[in-house]
Structure 1
Amino acid sequence: MLKAQQLTLAVLIQATMISSAIASEQSEAKGFVEDAEASVLFRTGYLTRDRKHGKEDTSSTAQTAIVDIDSGFTQGTVGFGVGFVGDASFKLGSNNHAGNNMIPKKSTTGTAYDTWARGGANVKARISNTTLRYGTQVLDIPVLASNTARLVPEYFTGTLLTSHEIENLEVIGGKFTKNSLSDQINTDGQKLRSAWVWGAKYQFDDNLKASYYGLDVKDKLDRHYINANYKIPFADKDSLTLDFSGYRTTFKPEASIYSATGPLGEDKTNNIWAVSGTYNQGPHTVMLAYQQNTGNVGYDYGGNGDGMQSIYLPNSYLSDFIGNREKSAQLQYNLDLGAFGVPGLNWTTAYVYGWNIHIADGKDPNQLVQDNATEREFFNQVKYTVQSGFAKGVNLRLRNSYYRASSAYQYDNYIGDTNEWRIFLDIPVKFL
């Protein structure tokens, strides 16, 4: 018999075959070369972590060129095309304390590579408004998301179907069998056996949208994600946006998880959900968010092949506030300085406080050592994007996090007390 998620995927794919009034993307194809796109992103990245309590600091600086080439589709009932994504990088300086998922290290010496390159090709086919792509891809799916917050992205290898046969509805489904983290050269660095993914998102009107996604990583986890987002417009272009999102994850005994309670060798379960309200008035935006975990383990994504960025929740900065049974609250403020004569300049500041974290004994997961550990983070980011001229699109980001946690919730269980700086300079160049 088909597994439940495979049956769900089959039903979703069949749903895309329903007739609709929207134009066919394939019928409007201009050609393999005519619709082609090619770009390279030159990125200089610096990420340093000043770690406390005698832990060794980590610091990485490197330069990369991220290439993205994607052909158009051949004309006809069924269109075909090809693509390529990849990067070539070199370190800047000695990087003796490299880490932070920025630079790959040699397995023999543990030292950072001087130069390295990664990537791969993909092929695609399209009929009507449905596209099937196989090969190396960068994913942006809430349950299977490539880490794009480092020097270079995380790559997945597999098949993804994306369909827009019904107006305002996107349906996806696929299977991936390899993934390579941002600091791995091996295309199968995580030893991913298989990851089935499926889901859909629907835009009800200009103000209301919702989505659901599911994931099954073989021998690791089953995960489900839901989201609903509603925007309430007011006079003078002010608005209030209400958002609900949540995950339910069942970790299998083979999964790698941070800290769990309950017997070894049994499935672990985590539910994490968040609600937020975001008020926008001209250049000012204020967000309040509340996030909560339940179950016998915290939310985890690190060693389970489900993407290092698959945490689409508001309380996510350096920490994701995902501890076992943790509750957290956030206040965020964003200022668009374009309204004050500096277009392209943006500042975001936020404070997140988490409490009620349950910490299990490392030797006996049935024994709690702490049932109310805490963590907190003060986050600031300044971002500037050139708006015009020959440097249009050039982007500079400066980001700082001040993170502290209870003594029981330190490096053995999570991040540990850290001061972090990230500086990224992106220079995009488009060829086609």
Structure 2
Amino acid sequence: MQKSTKILFATLIPTLLVSNTYASEQSDAKGFIEDANGSVLFRTGLNTRDKKNGKADQNSAGQSAIFKLDSGFTQGTIGFGAGILTDGGFKIGNNFNAGPDMIPAENQGKTDEFGHVTPKDHWLRGGGYIKARMSNTTLVYGTQLVNSPVFASNLGRLAPEYYEGLSITSHEIKNLELSAGKYTKNVRSGQVGSDANNLDQAITWGAKYKINEQLSASYYGLDIKDRLKRHYVNTNFKQSLSNDRSLTYDLNGYHTKWDPEGNTYSETTNDKNDRANTIWSISATYNTGPHNVMLAYQQNIGNTGYDYNNNGDGGASIALPNSYLSDFAGAGEKSVNLQYTFDFSAFNIPGLTWTSAYVYGWDIDVANADRTKLITSSAKETEFFNQIKYTVQSGFAKDVSFRARNYIYRADEAYRDNYMPNTNEWRIFLDIPITLF
């Protein structure tokens, strides 16, 4: 961990010592009150997870309000500010299950005799933060929503996932973003408490560089004490074609080394000191008018799956194309994905989109219960995904959005026992954002 802390500071300090290549963000500061803004997002959500193979269903519904108050920065060489992030809500109806982190749960998410996770009748969560900015470098300490490919808050539930710690983001060099952080507390979407997930210490660092209008590259790292060390790389290239058509290539890669105390669910070894995996993907996306078609290939190498969200690394810390209900990231797994999106603005209905995808995964390694031998190295899984989303484009309801997702998941028996049962699922959300000031 000492090494990771040194990397954190070595990543950012040099940027403060170089001359700016463009205007300073802090020089435009108008003041603590003058630049302040406040908003609330009212979210109504329904989740029905119909599990097959004798497993308990997970159905839940609720209403939440996610509130953010963010001050501006004071004027001067160093600007200071503060803010609040909170959410509250209640379950709706005869609701016996918190779902997959859909609603904050009682008893730290423990199941009852029927396999249900009891939801809270109502909840209130969140916290505050302080911030400082010098030139184009911003420091935030306190409760935060984090977003990086290796360490990301889950924002796709009724309640967001919070972290508490220190983060630094720097734009001192044009087209280059450097970031680093140290976090010591984590509250998942289905939890209540200042550190319900018992995060000890996580160090993050990363860089993203826009090489030109067509090409960008990034690297991010993560070290969670006694749990795991992870690295991520990405390259994205957009090729413009004639008649407003384009072809975008995207390459992603993760490498994870697990510490002995790290949690995984799909390892094929019983040696806790020798668990590692590398997963990579490549995709090509063709866009013409209202049509968007993506073809992706993804492959995992090693004796574990790409396991995330079980070690304090966040419920959205995956930047792979074949990630829907399943992530198609089992040990040894290969998968292909065909996704199609249609934009109904072509029919004069701006804001309405439809997405369908089919993913097929094969050659999954599955071990027996004590991880002493392989049961099979050729397990399979499939998923059919559909989503419709509409966002109001103008008028008094501007930015109100509705989205409905349907997942149909099937897998071989050996992998179902190791991962999850055959499942049909609906997720429906209505988001009403309101700007307070």
Matched, 1:429 2:428: no
Matched, 1:72 2:72: yes
Q: 2:398 aligns with which of 369, 373, 392?
A: 392
Shift in Å, 1:97:
3.1
CA distance in 1, matches of 2:15, 2:33: 28
Tell me the residue number matched to 2:34.
34
Shift in Å, 1:265:
2.9
CA distance in 1, matches of 2:309, 2:268: 18
Tell me the residue number matched to 1:90.
90
Tell me the residue number matched to 1:369.
375
Tell me the residue number matched to 1:11.
10
Matched, 1:300 2:307: yes
CA distance in 2, matches of 1:207, 1:290: 22
- Check the 8 A contact 1:248/1:271 in 2, yes or no: yes
Shift in Å, 1:6:
2.5
- Check the 8 A contact 1:222/1:250 in 2, yes or no: yes
Superposition pairs of residues 299-318 of structure 1, within 5 angstroms: 299-318=306-325
Tell me the residue number matched to 2:233.
226
CA distance in 1, matches of 2:430, 2:311: 30
Shift in Å, 1:343:
1.0
Tell me the residue number matched to 2:175.
168
| Most deviating of 92-101 and 126-135 | 92-101
- Check the 8 A contact 1:84/1:121 in 2, yes or no: yes
Tell me the residue number matched to 1:381.
387
Tell me the residue number matched to 1:217.
224
Shift in Å, 1:341:
1.6
Superposition pairs of residues 128-277 of structure 1, within 5 angstroms: 128-277=135-284
TM-score by length of structure 2 reads: 0.96
Give the 3-state SS of the residue equivalent to 2:189 in structure 1.
coil
Residue identity matched to 1:311: I
Tell me the residue number matched to 1:43.
43
Residue identity matched to 2:58: T
Residue identity matched to 1:332: Q
Give the 3-state SS of the residue equivalent to 2:9 in structure 1.
helix
Shift in Å, 1:263:
3.3
CA distance in 2, matches of 1:162, 1:282: 36
CA distance in 2, matches of 1:150, 1:267: 34
Residue identity matched to 1:341: N
Give the 3-state SS of the residue equivalent to 1:319 in structure 2.
coil
| Most deviating of 282-291 and 233-242 | 233-242
- Check the 8 A contact 2:55/2:421 in 1, yes or no: no
Shift in Å, 1:331:
0.3
Shift in Å, 1:347:
0.3
- Check the 8 A contact 1:269/1:296 in 2, yes or no: yes
Q: Deviations over 1:165-217 (max 9, x none)?
A: 00011100110000000010012111000000000101111111111000000
Matched, 1:81 2:88: no
* Unaligned 5+ runs, structure 1: none
Residue identity matched to 2:164: T
CA distance in 1, matches of 2:14, 2:123: 43
- Check the 8 A contact 1:5/1:214 in 2, yes or no: no
CA distance in 1, matches of 2:98, 2:33: 41
CA distance in 2, matches of 1:350, 1:392: 29
Shift in Å, 1:11:
2.0
Residue identity matched to 1:348: T
Tell me the residue number matched to 2:106.
106
Give the 3-state SS of the residue equivalent to 2:12 in structure 1.
helix
Give the 3-state SS of the residue equivalent to 1:9 in structure 2.
helix
Shift in Å, 1:8:
2.3
Shift in Å, 1:74:
0.3
Shift in Å, 1:13:
0.9
CA distance in 1, matches of 2:50, 2:13: 52
- Check the 8 A contact 1:60/1:100 in 2, yes or no: no
Residue identity matched to 1:10: F
CA distance in 1, matches of 2:357, 2:306: 22
Shift in Å, 1:349:
0.3
TM-score by length of structure 1 reads: 0.97
Residue identity matched to 1:5: S
Give the 3-state SS of the residue equivalent to 1:274 in structure 2.
strand
Shift in Å, 1:111:
2.9
- Check the 8 A contact 1:145/1:307 in 2, yes or no: yes
Tell me the residue number matched to 1:61.
61
Residue identity matched to 1:275: I
Matched, 1:408 2:414: yes
Shift in Å, 1:47:
0.8
CA distance in 2, matches of 1:277, 1:4: 37
CA distance in 2, matches of 1:4, 1:356: 37
Corresponding residue pairs, total = 429
- Check the 8 A contact 1:59/1:100 in 2, yes or no: no
Q: Deviations over 1:62-105 (max 9, x none)?
A: 00000011100000111000011110101110211332111223
Q: Deviations over 1:246-272 (max 9, x none)?
A: 100001110110121223331310100
Matched, 1:417 2:417: no
- Check the 8 A contact 2:392/2:399 in 1, yes or no: yes
